[in-house]
Amino acid sequence: MTAIFIIAEVEKDDEVMGFISTISLTFIPLLIGIILLYGTYKRVPTYESFVEGGKEGIKIAVSIIPFLVGMLVAISIFRASGALDALMNWLRPLMKSMGVPAEIVPLLIIRPISGTAALGMTSDLIAVYGPDSFIGRLASVLQGSTDTTFYVLTVYFGAVGIKKMGDALKVGLLADVVGIIVSILIVGLIFGTT
């Protein structure tokens, strides 16, 4: 456990953080540069290849539209009708008995369903409870460590025309549950639950 605390201490160091953010800022330009220079060196017709690859992008984007429309309309109805709120009220006591703070429950339910809604909720929780509170930190970690399972599934499978998803949804949602449990434990251990 001490190891984690030490890393947490080092991480607060501005130099380390500056280094990390520099890496992420330079990553994309660097990548573009390397791809173009290496392509030229290997005598690839760079511009023509780029255009050919890009054409594929349009096809993919257009082909995802029906999948996303279907999914987002259903989610939108579910949310606007009050069904989502009812689900949350129903789950809240259950979650609370497992040590999950009630304030965070809506975020947990929305996280796998809608990325934009989850982001809105996270910033709302941070605004209301403060970024340096248990709730604020937990919301931050949760937002960063899990993804919008439904969106990923819809877009990736939709784009290549997979009709039978197999265990993908189950696996994805269970992975989210693991992410949630781990986030609560880690934030509690590192910062305490206040």
Partner 1 sequence: MVNYIWVAMTIIGLVFALINGNMEAVNKAVFDGAKEAVTLCIGLISVLVFWLGMMRIAEESGLLQKLTRLFRPIVKRIFPEVPANHPAMGYILSNMISNMFGLGNAATPLGIKAMEELKKLNRGKTEASRSMVTFLAINTASITIIPTTVIAIRINYHSASPTEIVVPTIIATILSAIGALLIDRYFYYRRSRKG
- Of 18-26, 88-96, 97-105: span binding partner 1 (CB under 8 A): 18-26
Residue number with CB closer to partner 1 (104 or 122): 122
Tokens of 76: 């939108």
How many whole angstroms separate alpha carbon 72 and alpha carbon 74? 5
Cα(70)–Cα(78) distance, integer angstroms: 13
Interacting residues with partner 1 between 104 and 163 (CB under 8 A): 112, 116, 119, 122-123, 126-127, 130-132, 136-137, 140-141, 143-149, 152-153, 155-157, 159-163
Near partner 1 by CB under 8 A: residue from 29, 74, 90, 192: 74
Torsion of CA 7, 11, 13, 19, to 10 degrees: 130
Comparing CB distances to partner 1, the nearer of 106 and 136 is: 136
H or E element, residue 57: helix 46-80
Longest dimension (CA), the chain: 64
Q: Does position 100 bind partner 1 by CB under 8 A?
A: no
| Torsion sign, CA atoms 95, 98, 103, 107 | negative
Whichever of 94 and 178 has its CB closer to partner 1, that residue is 178
Contacts of 60 (CB under 8 A, 6+ apart): 159
**Cβ atoms of residues 139 and 107 within 8 Å:** yes
Q: Does 83 bind partner 1 (CB under 8 A)?
A: yes
Does 65 engage in binding with partner 1 (CB under 8 A)?
yes
Instruction: Give yes or no for residue 51 binding partner 1 (CB under 8 A).
Output: yes
Find the binder of partner 1 among 15, 57, 90, 194 (CB under 8 A): 57
Q: Which of 15, 29, 53, 91 binds partner 1 (CB under 8 A)?
A: 53
